[in-house]
Structure 1
């Protein structure tokens, strides 16, 4: 599942041809090697990272919780995490520090529960008495109590079972579990593997203020290297914009780096992801984050008891480095 590194020549010109050597960067995907993360491979393939001065190695991530740990420990320099997962990490019982968000990847949360027709799950209330398989620490799982409260689900009647990112869809297709935690963009892959119609319960039906994934780096790296962070972010967002504009091309590119990637599946995910990346509000640039929206998200999570009072948006987001909303 690992991807090829970016540029292998340390002496190659970086920083737009200034002659400086490229800085080695480890970038983790958000969750495995699904099509939703293809934009990083597009930025790599098209030389956007190299032009910005970076030699980037892309590795598969394991969800928001693990992504934060890797950034704080310095194992990786950049990764997308779900912003809600970041808020809960910073404002919940663990009070995790040492990471900061520098751009939005999706303007709305893509978290969802996915089932299959015939499994008896057609509405949120139908989840009661059922099992959901998901990876430990995934944002779908972390956010479920808040979703359940707003969707009128008794979360004590729902059982979570541990599973790994890359095996969730296959386990659902095999009939071993009735539902899985997944992003909405997983629908075409689920239907391809299961050969059945998928039933998708998007969290955004009830949690409209929540952002989806955001790009994070360590607080120290952002403080010490603000211009480098801006350059990396711009390169990644170029890849993101290209992927949304041309999903077919992105699928072909990703298949060069990830042997298991199917170009048509990548393109299908990106087509579903497009509306989440580009805000319905006119004039909002790709990557922008709005402090007032983040504050409303914090209030929602405080209201459901998932984070303690007192968390401020700027404790989790460096607004000096993010594209302006």
Structure 2
């Protein structure tokens, strides 16, 4: 039923926010209108999509793209499966948990990596009494339901020797998490490591303290680009073209973060271009693999299998999940 609904909605989904992108460069072929969701709000870490659009990479690939702010892995997956959006980055571990967990979500597939290592972390501020994972016990953390930081916390806690039963989570929203932390309404929040410049700009005079999950969970990827499974099966060349255009914007953004921050500000007036550039600078080593010869966007099935084993070992997903159930390796760049 979900696949059928998604197929129906794909024909109608998406509308342009740029009238100049309604026809191809030659004027001979109309562009396909699609909706792209950012991973989480409109922070600097997601500005590469705006760069890809601003520089005409999407248009050249045959797409008229409307970019909307996403709400985290769980909600973004729902919109992809329902056909309300066609592409979005989610945390790949969140995708593994969705497919291999109790819900057994289907209807989406990953087609490229955005970050080669997870950026998930617990963020707090100096003076809040948290400097190591063990300090989380007895504390209250905020995050949105379904976020990968929150869903992955039991696995992180086990690896870091933390009792997850002694850590309280309360619900938060993308637009309020930073303010909630800055006002010390909670002791910490779920966040990506690249959020450091943003929180320090909000909580004037305070220094961010980060507990990166990658300190203990080194095999996990960060965000991965996903699309609807039916769309990928029926339009493999379109998926490859969109992916290439987005990754070109990603490479430009981490190479020229100041320019990307300016582009984000142009498209999102409330954005801070300096914070955006700082986020992209911090994100660059997560996008570029430390292993030589691994291209931006690549996904390795053996590494994904090790990630699955980690999640199975902590009891978060059931036995039997394979990388191919979550990733279409035929569509992954340089697969």
TM-score for both structures, normalised by structure 2: 0.94
- SS of the aligned residue for 2:19 comes to coil
- What residue is the counterpart of 1:52 in the other structure? 61
Matched residues in 1 for 2:54 and 2:207: separation?
Answer: 34
Who is 2:236 aligned against? 226
Q: Distance in 2 between matches of 1:67 and 1:176?
A: 27
For residue 165 of structure 1, give the secondary structure of its aligned residue in structure 2.
Answer: coil
1:13 aligned residue: 24
* Counterpart selection for 1:321 from 301, 310, 331: 331
Are positions 1:262 and 2:294 aligned together?
Answer: no
Match in the other structure for 1:153: 162
Which of 241, 244, 248 is the equivalent residue of 1:238? 248
Q: Once the 2 structures are TM-superposed, how far is the Cα of residue 324 of structure 1 from its aligned partner?
A: 2.9
Aligned to 1:166, the other structure's residue is in SS state coil
**TM-score calculated relative to the size of structure 1:** 0.97
Look up the match of 1:284. 294
Answer yes or no: is the 8 Å Cα contact 1:62–1:165 preserved in 2. yes
Q: Separation in 2 of the partners of 1:314 and 1:20?
A: 34
Find the counterpart in structure 2 of residue 106 from structure 1. Answer: 115
State the alpha-carbon separation in 2 of the partners of residues 44 and 27 from structure 1.
11
Which runs of structure 2 are paired with 1:155-174 in the superposition (5 Å)? 155-174=164-183
Poorly superposed stretches of 4+, deviation over 3 Å: 4-7
Looking at structure 2, the residues matched to 322 and 10 of structure 1 have their Cα atoms a distance apart, in angstroms, of: 26
Contact 1:10 1:21 in 2 (8 A): no
Deviation string for 1:66-111 (max 9, x for gaps)? Answer: 0100000000000000000000000000110000000000000000
Q: Which secondary structure state, in structure 2, belongs to the residue aligned with residue 215 of structure 1?
A: strand
Would you say how many aligned residue pairs link Structure 1 and Structure 2?
A: 320
2:31 counterpart residue number: 22
Q: Secondary structure at the residue paired with 1:50?
A: helix
- Aligned counterpart in structure 1 of residue 127 of structure 2, from 95, 118, 129: 118
List per-residue Cα deviations over 1:275-317 (Å, max 9, x = no partner). Answer: 0000000111000000000000000000000000000100000
Gaps of 5+ in 2: 1-14
Structure 2 match to 1:251 = 261
User: 1:13 Cα deviation (Å)?
Assistant: 1.7
Residue in structure 1 matched with residue 153 of structure 2 by the alignment:
144
Task: Please state whether the residue corresponding to 2:321 is helix, strand or coil.
Answer: coil
